[in-house]
A and B are shown apart, each in its own frame.
Chain A
Amino acid sequence: MRVYVHVGPLCLLTLLLPPLSPAAPISPAEPINQAYSLALYMQKNTSTLLQTYLQYQGSPFSDPGFSAPELQLSSLPPAAVSFKTWHALDDEERLNRAQGAFLALTQHLQLVGDDQNDLNPGSPILLAQLGAARLRAQGLLGNMAAIMIALGLPIPPEEDTLGLVPFGASAFERKCRGYVVTREYGHWTDRAVRDLALLKAKYPA
């Protein structure tokens, strides 16, 4: 098991490691810790990603204080949940939801990256940040899988959350979609930090 370091590039290297083999039962504390560290690190960059994204989409997206909470994507589960419901979730359900959300996020971030490659091909910063966010989301997925293995929970199968629908989208829809994805990426990262903090407290080292 590799240890996460709080340095970006090293994190990215370790993210790409395949999930652990389920043969070795280990304490859940270590994978929870690692996932928590990664989620914290991701949390620091989510607002930057959103701001960078909006900055490249033109007005009104790039206007200060832009917000369009009414925009949602049906293919992306919203992170917002009532506290009571959230708190009552059991470990499996909690991890399953997060797993599902980040799985959808990785696919959507890939889609947004492709969209922006067409709309903003001359903006390597934005493209790099989108790529980095996707890799981190994948890394968190791997970490969550490790937690589920450690807790003896079944790993949900990967699904194609995007389907065929989004490819005919207009440029405006693509911009909005990217906005929702980068926004929800932030919300889900915030929620993942809370989820993992709760698990961390539950399974101390």
Chain B
Amino acid sequence: MDIYSCLKRPSRMVDNKRMRTTSNFQWLFSTFILLYLMNQVNSQKKGSLHDLKCITSDLQVWDCSWKASSEAGRDAAYEFCIENRSHSCYQLKKTNVKIPALPPGDHEITIHSPHDFESFTSKFILNEKNVSLIPDTPEILNLSADFSTSTLYLKWNDKGSVFPRHLNVIWEIKILRKQSMELVKLVTHNTTLNGKDTVHHWSWVSDMPLECAVHYVGIRCYIDSLHFFGRKVWSDWSPLKNIFWTPVSQLHVFPQDRVILVGSDMIFCCVSQEKVSTALVGGTNAPFIHLDGENVAIKIYNISASASSGTNIVFSTQSNVDGAVVFAGYPPDIPQKLNCETHDLKEIICTWDPGRSTSLVGERNTNYTLYESFSGKHVRFQRVEAPMNESYQLFFQMLPNQEIYNFTLNARNPLGRSESTILVNITERVSPHTPVSFKVKDINSTAVMLSWHLSGNFTKISLLCQIEINKTNSVQESRNVTIKGVENSNYLVAVGKLNPYTVYTFRIRCTTETFWKWSKWSNKKQHVTTEASPSKGPDTWREWSSDGKNLIIYWKPLPNNEANGKILSYNVSYSSDEETQSLSEIPDPQHKTEIRLEKNDYIISVVAKNSAGSSPPSKIASMEIPNDDLKIEQAVGRGKGIVLTWHYDPNMTCDYVIKWCNSSRSKPCLMDWRKVSSNSTETVIESDQFRPGVRYNFFLYGCKNQGYQLLRSIIGYIEELAPNVAPNFTVEDTSADSILVKWEDIPVEELRGFLRGYLFYFEKGERDTSKMRGLESSGRSDVKVKNITDISQKTLRIADLQGKTSYHLVLRAYTDGGMGPEKSMFVVTKENSVGLIIAILIPVAVAVIVGVVTSILCYRKREWIKETFYPDIPNPENCKALQFQKSVCEGSSGLKTLEMNPCTPNNVEVLETRSTFPKIEDTEIISPVAERPEDGCDAEPENHVVVSYCPPIIEEEIPNPAADEAGGTSQVIYIDVQSMYQPQAKPEEEQENDPVGGAGYKPQMHLHINSTVEDTAGEDDLDKTAGYRPQASVNTWNLVSPDSPRSTDSNSEVVSFGSPCSINSRQFLIPPKDEDSPKSNGGGWSFTNFFQNKPND
């Protein structure tokens, strides 16, 4: 049994190894199975030692333990022997032993357990690979928290001193939250052991503020030794340590005043003793995350940028409120457009644009630091709280002997940092200050000294300054000057080539030679250069006075560029061979003087003076050399000037002079002159004084031996115009067939050009028949034209005219500028006298003869004439008059009586007296027209009814209500105006029946009176009562009064009616025209009453 056991034991623990290591695999495998089965039988039966296990925590000591059989008593003793080179055994009273770590390889272990009655010996093969490495449980030295940052700080000792060599250790840390220990974080942390005890630190930032919930932390480790081939196992978890916060008040919100990045998530929590009712984030409710007790939390997702005072988170309970503020913003943007330059080479100014706003202000705002890497110096941006678009700039004091600067601008805020760099050679980045104290001083009349001050240390560089010179009415000029720079000093520069006595405006700006930027322009300075003596004498001319005794000297004022100052006076002197005489000084505005000269040959000299001195004299000879060969020429200008040419004359040693004047002026006449050099042969005279249509005289003088000779005399116009007036002309003589016309010259002033001729028009025509319009138009054949181009001709005889005929004559002058106005005249030619006499005598003789014959005949036939033309009073029965009248009324055109001439207004005055009524009735034939025309006009409306009368027309059937109302007693027929236009056909038909109906002499009117007094006689009675009858049937009469305006006056007793009609005519005597009616009012005459009145005679 022992042997068995001894033999078999070793195979039990190391079977696997052996299988792998021995070469004879098959043999081992069969042996293993056999031994194993036997060992199992033995151990169960006899309770032998088994399950040898070895572990290590430090790789130096192996702790081996085994299991003994159940028979083994408590006081069992064991002998643990390691069968290696040095046989070592351990006498033990327990079933475990600590042995030094064994080297790699198999080691045979024999455990002998001597027992009272039997002994067991078990053998094991022990290899490092069978040993487990289980580190000691780590211990947390310290767990602390920074509540303000929600950070946990963990501290523990790795106990590295127990390990023999460097080892990698993996630590696993778990964080549990709330009393329910919810795992919120499990992290691993790698370190190495270096043979010494080392305390490790680890921190963790909680998303949940630590104040609101208890946090637990545990740690374990795993030693990752490469040289240990056994099993490596995690240590046990350390005892948990926790962190909690003891509230000091009823309600607390965490975290406070946190600055976070826009878009991040964040948890806020509230420690409360009572139930939290609401949580507001920027005004909106947020859902709760419940923590231990009454504590709650909320989570904000994707927070947006805050206003300047931050975003408020407010928790409230029944009785209390607390909150926190979070500032959500951005880290600083990279500073943009960083630029550094200097104004004075003493201080560098760096400017930049902060870029995107951070949404953070106050103490959370971005801090800027400007750092210079070569010198290691830096400056900080001192923020002045201002609007967002403030200018960002920093000043950096320049360092002596440093030209290259490498600037880094750091921007930093609670959320991050950024930077921007710039490398500058500062001598190339100079933008000088504006030059100040800019002054101008005179050097002489053509040069000035400019001075200005420029602050800055420019000793090492040269300045380039630009001077701007402005002269009135001149182009602006710029001059650049380079100046050696100095420190904080005045700079001087001389500016020459200026004109004397001229107003200049200067200003200056500067830069450096290595151009970067111009400074601003300095202030402008105006300066007048000093005077210099005039550079030339005045342009001089002379004229002899009209009496030839005095010489008038003219000179022109000097132009500014020659005067060189203000001309104060002129000195005029004249000299001959014998003497020289000076006149007294002539003050400036005067530009001519007169000298009485004894003789002709003097040299006159004129000198202009200003405060700086005198001009050189200009000299002119008084003598005029006569020229016999002189004729007057004509010239017309071109454009604004007039061109004069002449032939070159070598005799003319000095210059030519052209003078001109207005020819209408009296002599000596001088408008202006011009000098032309002696080798010229042409000049153009232009002057603003020239006017079109004005004649000027031009004189060309040549200068010869100090005397002037008139070479040419020219009259000219700058532009010719048409004559202003027509020539005055008269008829000198007329005959039956011709007229002699004579005219006068037109004055030069009115001619306005060179006269080129006259145009003479003539035609038949009376003065009144103004056919002469458009006489000059050539199209008219009856107008004859004569063009007189010989301007010396002053008369013209027109022949081949008709006798005793009126002729219309027109004369006008013309120049190249056009036709002048015309002057016209009517002339009647004399008649042929014989023809005239015959023409008178024959008609006279014929008239006498006819008169005599007529007288004789009339005398002889006087009875017949009387019968024919003046019959006796007509017998009504003969009705001759009626017939005559009828023909009249039928519109015989031969009789004017029926023309529709204006009707005499037939005003009938109706007196409202009863007595008048019978009167009318009695005189039935009284014409209402003739009755009282004068009275009618003057009638007073109260008493009369004035009626515009229409001849007696009555429709007997028609009662006349108008008449009733208009006074009742009126004896006049009133015709309704509205019924004026009755059909015309009817009267005409009835007219044919007139002879039938017409019985005897009838009154022309039938008065139908509806008065209250004269009561209505029956219609039948009317015929009887009316004595006088109309000459035609009254039935045919028409009620017409076409043009009488009906009175609209309601209470008027004056009612005006239509015009009177011829008795039996259908026509109105007054034509239907309103304007004709008033005419007829005045007169009481008409053909109607002529006939009617006649019988009364």
A: which residues have CB within 8 A of B? 56-61, 63, 68, 70-71, 116-123, 170-172, 175-176
Q: Do residues A122 and B256 form an inter-chain contact, with CB atoms below 8 A?
A: no
Q: Which residues of A contact B306 (CB under 8 A)?
A: 58
Known: A58-B312, A59-B283, A118-B362. 5 other contacts (CB 8 A): A58-B282, A63-B283, A68-B321, A122-B388, A175-B325
B307: which A residues are within 8 A, CB to CB?
58
Query: In the complex, are the beta carbons of A175 and B312 less than 8 A apart?
Result: yes
B385 at the interface (CB under 8 A from A): yes
B40 located at the interface, meaning its Cβ lies under 8 Å from any Cβ of chain A in the complex: no
In the complex, which residues of chain B have a beta carbon less than 8 angstroms from the beta carbon of A63?
283
Which secondary structure dominates chain A's binding surface?
loop
Contacts of A118 in B (CB 8 A): 362-363
B320 to A120, Cβ gap below 8 A?
A: no
Complex interface: chain B residues within 8 A of A122 (CB): 308, 361, 385-388
Minimum Cβ distance to chain B for residue A62 (Å): 8
- Assess the B321–A71 pair: CB atoms within 8 A: yes
16 pairs of residues in contact across A and B, judged by CB atoms under 8 Å: A58-B282, A58-B307, A59-B283, A61-B312, A70-B321, A116-B309, A117-B362, A121-B361, A122-B308, A122-B387, A123-B308, A170-B325, A171-B325, A172-B253, A172-B314, A172-B325
CB proximity of A172 to chain B, nearest CB, Å: 4
Docked complex Cα distance between A58 and B305 (Å): 13
Pair B256/A172 contact, Cβ less than 8 Å: yes
Smallest CB–CB gap between B489 and chain A, Å? 43
Query: Which positions 359-412 of chain B face chain A at CB distance < 8 Å?
Result: 361-363, 365, 385-388
Which residues of the other chain, A, contact B385 by a CB distance below 8 angstroms? 117, 121-122
State whether B324 touches A58 (Cβ < 8 A). Answer: no
Verify B361–A170 contact, CB threshold 8 A: no
Asked if B322 is an interface residue, CB under 8 A from chain A, the answer is yes
User: Shortest distance in angstroms between A63's beta carbon and chain B's nearest beta carbon?
Assistant: 6
| Residue among A70, A122, A171 having the largest count of chain B Cβ atoms under 10 Å | A171
Q: List chain B residues, Cβ under 8 A from A71.
A: 321
Decide: B362 and A170 in contact? CB cutoff 8 A.
Answer: no
Contacts of B256 in A (CB 8 A): 170-172
A199 to B502, CA, bound (A): 81
Q: Closest B residue to A173 by CB, please name it.
A: B256
Q: With CB as the reference atom, state the residue of chain B lying closest to A116.
A: B309
Residues of B within 8 A of A59 (CB): 280, 282-283, 312
Among B320, B325, B363, B365: residue with most chain A CB under 10 A: B325
In the bound complex, do residue A121 and residue B322 qualify as a contact, i.e. CB atoms below 8 Å apart?
A: no
Residue pair B314, A175 in contact (C-beta under 8 Å): no
Task: Give Cα A60–Cα B310 distance, bound, in whole angstroms.
Answer: 12
Taking chain B's interface residues, is the majority helix, strand, or loop, or is none over half, making it mixed? loop
Q: Which residue of A lies closest to B309 (CB)?
A: A119
List chain B positions with a Cβ less than 8 A from chain A: 253, 256-257, 280, 282-283, 306-312, 314, 319-325, 327, 361-363, 365, 385-388
What distance in Å separates the Cβ of B306 from its nearest Cβ neighbour in chain A? 8
Q: How far is the CA of A117 from the CA of B308 in the complex (A)?
A: 11
Q: Is the CB of A57 within 8 A of B312?
A: yes
Cα distance A170–B320 in the bound complex, in angstroms: 17
Q: Which 9 A-B pairs have the closest CB atoms?
A: A59-B283, A171-B325, A121-B385, A118-B362, A170-B256, A119-B309, A172-B323, A172-B325, A171-B257
Residues of chain A contacted by B283 (CB below 8 angstroms): 59-60, 63
Query: What separation, in Å, do the CA atoms of A116 and B309 have in the docked complex?
Result: 8
The chain A residue sitting closest to B308, CB to CB, is A120
Contact B310 A119 (CB under 8 A): yes
A57-B387 Cα distance, complex, nearest whole Å: 18
Contact yes or no, B321 A171, CB < 8 A: no
Q: Which residues of B contact A175 (CB under 8 A)?
A: 309, 312, 325
**CA A56 – CA B306 in complex, angstroms?**
12
Task: List chain B residues, Cβ under 8 A from A123.
Answer: 308
Q: Determine how close the nearest CB of chain A comes to the CB of B285; give it in whole angstroms.
A: 11
A29 to B322, CA, bound (A): 46
Distance (Å) between the CB of A70 and the closest chain B CB?
Answer: 7
Shortest beta-carbon distance from B836 to chain A in Å: 115
Q: Which of chain B's residues has its CB closest to A178's CB?
A: B309
A68 to B280 alpha-carbon distance, docked (Å): 14
Q: Are A60 and B309 in contact (CB under 8 A)?
A: no
Nearest residue (CB) in A for B284 is: A59
Q: Which of A116, A121, A171, A176 contacts B310 (CB 8 A)?
A: A171
> For B323, what are the chain A residues with a Cβ–Cβ distance below 8 Å?
172, 176
| Distance between Cα atoms of A176 and B322 in the complex (Å) | 9
For B322, list chain A residues within 8 Å (CB). Answer: 172
A119 CB → nearest B CB, Å = 4
Given contacts A122-B388, A170-B256, contact A56 B309 (CB under 8 A): yes
Q: CA of A61 to CA of B309 in the docked complex: distance in angstroms?
A: 11
Choice from B312, B320, B363 contacting A172 with Cβ under 8 Å: B312
The docked-state distance in angstroms from the alpha carbon of A170 to that of B309 is 12
A121 CA / B366 CA spacing, docked (Å): 14
With CB as the reference atom, state the residue of chain A lying closest to B363.
A118
On chain A, the residues within 8 Å of B321 by CB distance are: 68, 70-71
**B319 with A60: CB separation less than 8 A:** no
Bound-state CA distance A166–B256 (Å) is 15
| Contact B387 A170, beta carbon cutoff 8 Å | no
- Measured CA separation A57–B308 after assembly (Å): 9
Q: Which of B282, B312, B320 has the most CB of A within 10 A?
A: B312
CA distance A116 to B319 in the complex (A): 27
Contact indicator A57/B319 (Cβ below 8 Å): no
| Choice from B280, B362, B387 contacting A119 with Cβ under 8 Å | B362
A112 to chain B, nearest CB (A): 12
A57 contacts B309, CB within 8 Å?
A: yes
Q: A117-B385, A122-B387 are in contact. Are A170 and B310 (CB under 8 A)?
A: no
In the assembled complex, the Cα of A60 lies from the Cα of B309 at a distance in Å of: 12
* A121→B324 contact, CB < 8 A: no
Q: A59-B283, A171-B325, A175-B312 are in contact. Are A121 and B319 (CB under 8 A)?
A: no
How distant is the Cα of A118 from the Cα of B360 in the complex, in angstroms? Answer: 10
Shortest Cβ distance from B326 into A: residue: A171
C-alpha spacing A59/B323, complex, angstroms = 12
CB nearest neighbor in A for B385: A121
Minimal beta-carbon separation of A43 from chain B (angstroms)? 27
- Inter-chain CA distance A121–B323, complex, in Å, is 22
Task: For A56, give the chain B residue with the smallest CB separation.
Answer: B309
